[in-house]
């Protein structure tokens, strides 16, 4: 996961990240290798300076029309 997050982070210039940004992807080539694996990533700031990123990868059992309501 760490290498995948590093690759995702490098897709945008560092100064383009803003507080409150949330990035979501299920691109299997970008990170986890499966369409059912979803990554949520956010930048962390110390004051106005980008300090780190937090991320979580989770697995959704299935994608289907009407699955979520």
CA 34 distance to own-chain centroid: 14
User: What is residue 65's predicted lDDT score, i.e. its pLDDT?
Assistant: 67
Cα-trace Rg, the chain: 14
- Secondary structure (3-state) at 20: coil
Residue 67 has pLDDT above 70, yes or no: no
6-25 tens-digit pLDDT: 888 898 898 999 999 999 98
- State if pTM tops 0.85: no
Give the number of other CB atoms < 10 A from CB of residue 47. Answer: 5
Hey, which residues does 50 pair with through a beta bridge?
A: 45
pLDDT confidence band for 55 (50 / 70 / 90):
very high
Closest CA to 29 of 60, 55, 8, 56: 8
CA gap 54, 41 in Å, rounded = 6
pLDDT confidence band for 49 (50 / 70 / 90):
very high
């Amino acid at each position: 996961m760490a290498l995948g997050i590093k690759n995702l982070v490098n897709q945008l210039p560092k100064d383009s990240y803003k507080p409150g940004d949330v990035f979501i992807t299920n691109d299997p080539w970008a990170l986890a290798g499966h369409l059912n694996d979803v990554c949520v990533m956010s930048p962390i700031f110390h004051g106005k300076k980008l300090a780190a990123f937090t991320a979580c990868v989770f697995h959704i059992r299935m994608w289907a029309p009407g699955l979520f309501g």
